[in-house]
Structure 1
């Protein structure tokens, strides 16, 4: 392995959220690094050991095979220099170990070898070209091991992680969320989850259920905002045959079907007042009546509710019952927005890429540095849901091996420029003019007075900013008013 130039930094890697009651666990907590190289860089490996890596060196294909056999989760650093085509069949078997995140080390010109390119393309998480600062090498190794850990957990669990049980993150806000989930899971009190749309409130609700004493009973979810108000009552409480036109058979409602388990009421802020009253009565009595029936039915469930609506404001406006809110919000969980999760953005992006990489017609290795920077600077109004959609779109549309800002439909960092004072001034003036014209129904004189300028100056600014249609409409309106006054 050729010598690199600078000292290695502490590695940051992906970590999964709170575990299942019987989780698939990593074999131990050590961070293994398997280095396969004819001539290892001893200085680099010494730095890795100092950073907390448990380093194993393999200088031959046979020793590499022994080192990678049943090693568990690890990062791998491989330098193909000095190995022959005869060695590649054994190295290929080593690289196929899914629990190891491999990073290839290449020098200028070495990747010109087609067999090496194929091994890197098909089996390596990423590659680095020397000379490169050791901080960069350590960072790539950390991500490679993190993604291998996710794959290992999937395999150890026996089945892929379900879409509704993936909580990935290691920022302070997510660690606090995981801690809160563990605390509230062991009680039967109602839980209210607050957070923006797309932050994963249903994932949190499911995580609470699966770690609770009710985990073997049903988890039933209903989106109160997605069901017509006149149908929500029958969806929640069910109905008897003949209860209304079209009710040709008995239907069990969502509340009754969740008996013994958990009912998740998403977008509770959109629930109509009539349904709120019925839900409150159930929470007080623990019994329901199907529509068209007169027999009380005892139901034992835990309710978890969520909304992106400010319920305190809705209570003040009379759109939500205060007594129901206090019944639902015994325990509160706040879901952090994605733009406040820092480095988790990159971790989540890699996680989504690994999960949906089969959507692409060719092998995608990761993201370009500019794509990572673009994601970290984007404000993510749609939160995690938007990130998933952008990465999936990029996987389908990308033509290269690495996803770019263009593939993600994000602004490239190179395209961002500091706005000039002239541009800021023009944007502010245009906005103020448009607002004034709307407020005064295109009456130019009144708009000019409100803006503190003359009518002539206003017309000149509108023409200069290309607002000719608005200027013409305003002038015509003013002329109509003048004609009307003269006629009077």
Structure 2
């Protein structure tokens, strides 16, 4: 009795959930952490079938406890999820072992499970961290990335120019996150999405009764961005009249709410972006020169993806990992990969939609995939309709393509080896090559189990 109480106290002191079952899969013990994770009280769980209390996707497929009772072997760190009493889906890691008496007779089984929610939340946060995601090998982009910390610290207005989809908002978010305002809000507004009359009230807010339908006060984006950053995308599309009002904000640090009677102070930092040539708009009298110089205290020009060929493969693999882990948050590894032919298409495509088009293309391929190897059949038609004049035939292209092929082949070899637990014969058979050929390739790429 005393021994049982000691064991119970020990189990209740650990942070992992633990329960034991008899040979009929009825729960015989249930620790405090198990109560917390599942939301089920110990008194409710005891005597119940484990699959009625511990509702897991593994119960439906291959139950680790059942496998342990059948084979006598432990199951270690099996990933899956369980559903709590409140219906919350919880990512978990499960390990199982036999439960024996002093004579070695099997009494049942024991299962420990760890709540992975915090780890998965951290993964999601990392996936949302912008510049950590898109580290560039391109010289122009590296120069910009090196400048960001000092630019962020200054809090001066920044104008980011570049084609649609080049990552202007990503850079704006990075400036915010690196700045003293990082704990404040980051508020984004696409200026081209609103007509002039609505854009003014969207920016500055309005008072009740300011116009028909204004039945209550509404704060504008400047108010929402207080103590933070306001990102004005497509700034080149706003009217001359609104440019005057924004110019006052930049000069005086204040604005007037629509229908209001007195100016309102703001301390929001303004970062602007456009895909238009503002100098040409100035010449055409469609953009104010004084406003241009106010928003362009610091100017950044983002090159299009077609001029950043050294980044294409890295970005594609990054987007592939991101899309996979969003759909499979409890997985440890992404098994999907691009074959060499797809990477050649990526390299030779002009990417008119830039980074955004690349990300959309990768997500589409993953959604349509029927095997782990992503091939040319998953590419959009635009890749095959592209005219030859758009293909980049630069010096060194053949060398770059060869490197891309070798990179894809090495990744494929490692994945196939891991799938076959590094059995060379099975791996060669899967790849439909001779074992001697496989050995040559492993030597060529320096692939050894200890180095992976």
Distance 2:325 2:150 in 1: 37
Q: Which residue of 1 aligns with 2:370?
A: 399
Q: Which residue of 2 aligns with 1:236?
A: 203
Unaligned runs of 5+ in 2: 1-72, 80-118, 390-452
Change (3 A) 1:205 1:290: same
Q: CA deviation at 1:412?
A: 7.5
- Residue 190 of structure 1 pairs with residue 157 of structure 2: yes
Change (3 A) 1:163 1:247: farther
Distance 2:327 2:373 in 1: 12
Deviations 1:6-65 (A, max 9, x none): xxxxxxxxxxxxxxxxxxxxxxxxxxxxxxxxxxxxxxxxxxxxxxxxxxxxxxxxxxxx
Unaligned runs of 5+ in 1: 1-88, 97-152, 420-488
- Residue 384 of structure 1 pairs with residue 355 of structure 2: yes
In structure 2, which of residues 301, 305, 321 is the aligned counterpart of residue 354 of structure 1? 321
Q: CA deviation at 1:93?
A: 7.2
Distance 1:365 1:288 in 2: 52
CA contact (8 A) 2:349 2:383 kept: no
Q: CA deviation at 1:183?
A: 2.4
- Residue 325 of structure 1 pairs with residue 292 of structure 2: yes
Q: Secondary structure at the match of 2:218?
A: coil
Higher strand share: 2
Change (3 A) 1:203 1:237: same
Q: CA deviation at 1:209?
A: 0.7
Q: Which residue of 1 aligns with 2:396?
A: none
Q: Secondary structure at the match of 2:378?
A: coil
Alignment of 1:76-115 (within 5 A): none
In structure 2, which of residues 117, 128, 152 is the aligned counterpart of residue 162 of structure 1? 128
In structure 2, which of residues 171, 178, 182 is the aligned counterpart of residue 211 of structure 1? 178
Q: Secondary structure at the match of 1:319?
A: coil
Greater relative contact order (CA < 8 Å, ≥ 6 in sequence) = 1
Alignment of 1:271-350 (within 5 A): 271-350=238-317
Change (3 A) 1:194 1:158: closer
Aligned residues, how many? 273
Q: Which residue of 2 aligns with 1:365?
A: 336
Q: Could you state the TM-score of these two structures normalised by the residue count of structure 2?
A: 0.55
Q: Secondary structure at the match of 2:303?
A: coil
Change (3 A) 1:218 1:159: closer
CA contact (8 A) 1:239 1:292 kept: yes
Change (3 A) 1:155 1:300: closer
Q: Secondary structure at the match of 1:306?
A: strand
Q: Secondary structure at the match of 1:406?
A: helix
Instruction: Let me know the Cα RMSD of the aligned residues.
Output: 3.1
Q: CA deviation at 1:397?
A: 1.3
